[in-house]
Structure 1
C-alpha cells in the first residue's frame, strides 16, 4: 500500500467504510483524482465514480456534457483546483506530469482552467449531475481526508436541500438498488 496516494489502493478499513455507507454516494480518490473505491450509489450517480476512472480525465476528455454550461464550468474548475491542490501538497511525480500534460494537450477547457483558475478547491460544494435514469440532480459533496494516508480523499455526496432534489435522489437510490 502506498502512502503517497499514487498506488491506487485504499486501506482495508477504508474499503469497508465505503461499502458500509449505503445511504449516500461515497468515493475515495488518490492524489491524481483516480477513484480507488466507491459504493454502488456513487457508481449509479456518475460514470466518473467507478474504480480506476480518473475524475479529471472523465471530466475533461470523456464527458458528454455541455462544456459551456455554467454548471459544467463550475464543476470543471473545481476538478482543476483539486488537482492543483494535490500537486501543492505532494511531490510531483511522473504520473502527475503525464496526467497534466495529457489533459493540457487534449482539452482546451482544462488548459484554460489550469493556467488561469487559481481558486482554492472547495471542501464542500454543490454539483449538478445529469443522470440518464433519474434526470438532473444537484448533489452536495463534503471532502474528507483519510487518516494515515494523507493523499487519499473521500467525497461523500448528499442531495441538495430542495424537495425536487430529494425526490430525484430517492429515484437514484431505487435505480442503484435495482442495479446490484
Structure 2
C-alpha cells in the first residue's frame, strides 16, 4: 500500500473528511455501541451522514470528490458531527470553498528573501533566540542563539535547514525537545494546513514527499490530518550545551512577505534560563565567527 502524498488524486476536502471520520468513535459521536465487530476504525459513512442530516449518497460523493459545492449549512453540520474545534472547522470551510472553485489554482512560489529590516530585528532580539521560517519551516534567517538552540542544526548545509526535517530526522531532536511528540504534531499540522490551500506547491510536495519516505512518525501524523499549530506558549529543552531550560515562545506572521514567520524564544532577565540564553548567544557567535573566518580563508 502506497502512502498518500499532497498531490495524490482526489480532493483535500475528501481526504480531510475521511481522516476525521476515521478518528471519531461512535461513542465520541454520541451513538450507542452496536453489537458485533466493526471493520471501520471510526464512524461509518452512513453514521456520519445521519449525524450531519444529509443523505449517505451525498456524503459519499463529497468524500470521493464527486460533489464539490457543499453549502455552508452542510459544512457546519459536518463540523458539528465530527466534533471539530474552531481551527478545524475553519479549515473545513476553506477546503469546501477551494473545492467549489473547480479549476485548481496555480501553485504559488513564495519569496524566500528576508527583508533587511526583518534581519535587523532578528539581530536586535539577542540574546533571545530568533529565526525566520518559511511556510514549510525552512530556516531563512536567524541570530546566533536562534540556530544554536536547535542543537546540531548548524552541522547541516544551509539549504537543508528546516524545522520539520530537523524534528523528524535529526538524531538530537527527540532528546532536545522535552515534549517531542507535541513538537512534531505541530510541525505536521502547519504543513497539513498548507496542503489544504496549496496542495501542489513545489516546496510542500518536496518536503512532505521526503518525510513520508524517511519517517514513519511523519507518515502516521500526516494521515491523522491535524490542522492546528500553536503560535505561543512555553517549551522545555534538554540542551546538550546549556542544560535544561523552559522558555516562552511567540510566533508572528510577517506582513508584506506571505508565508514567512518570525519565531522568538525568551526568558525573564536574572533567571537561569536567561543566563543560558546569553551563553547560547555567545557560543553561536563564536561558531559564526569561526565559519566566516574559514570561508574568507578559502577565498
Alignment TM class, shorter chain as reference: 0.7 to 0.9
- Listed as ranges, the gaps of 5+ residues in structure 1 are none
Q: TM-score, normalised by structure 2?
A: 0.51
Matches within 5 A, 1:93-172: 93-116=201-224, 118-159=226-267, 163-172=271-280
Q: Name the structure 1 match of 2:135.
A: 31
Cα RMSD for the two superposed structures: 2.8
| Cα drift, residue 162 of structure 1 | 11
Q: Which has the higher contact order (CA 8 A, sep 6+)?
A: 1
Q: Name the structure 2 match of 1:72.
A: 180
Q: Name the structure 2 match of 1:63.
A: 171
In structure 1, what is the Cα distance between the partners aligned to 2:142 and 2:170?
Answer: 19
Q: TM-score, normalised by structure 1?
A: 0.81
Comparing 37-46 and 135-144, the one that deviates more:
135-144
Q: Name segments (4+ residues, structure 1) moved above 6 Å.
A: none
| Cα drift, residue 91 of structure 1 | 5.6
Q: How many residues get paired?
A: 176
- Listed as ranges, the gaps of 5+ residues in structure 2 are 1-107, 290-299
| Structure (1/2) with the larger strand percentage | 1
| Cα drift, residue 7 of structure 1 | 3.9
| Cα drift, residue 177 of structure 1 | 5.2
The higher radius of gyration belongs to 2
In structure 2, what is the Cα distance between the partners aligned to 1:157 and 1:5?
Answer: 28
Q: Name the structure 1 match of 2:119.
A: 15
Q: Is the CA contact 1:137–1:169 (under 8 Å) kept in the aligned structure 2?
A: no
